Amino acid sequence: MPAFNVTLKSGASPSELEAAKKKVTDQGGKITNEFTLIKGFTAEFPADAVHSLETNEHVTVEADSEVKTQ
């Protein structure tokens, strides 16, 4: 399963993050990392079901990828 970063948008309540986590696990995904500096997490989630997270107006969903510096 591909990995996605899910972060809480500004002004959203912590309960919205918990709801996103629940949606991931309810749909067969697995949370692999929880962030401490920002409200969010990385999860392995079926690519064909990621649209259900993207429709949540309280979170941002991005494909997890390697970040390189010059």
At 40, which helix (H) or strand (E)? Answer: strand 40-44
pLDDT digits (tens, 9 = 90+) for 17-68: 999 999 999 999 999 999 999 999 999 998 888 888 889 899 999 999 887 8
Nearest residue to 43 (alpha-carbon basis) of 11, 35, 66: 35
- CATH H-level superfamily of 3-63: Peptidase S8 propeptide/proteinase inhibitor I9 (3.30.70.80)
Q: Which residue's entry shows tokens 């996103």? A: 20
Look up the pTM and report it: 0.86
Q: Which residue's entry shows tokens 């919205």? A: 16
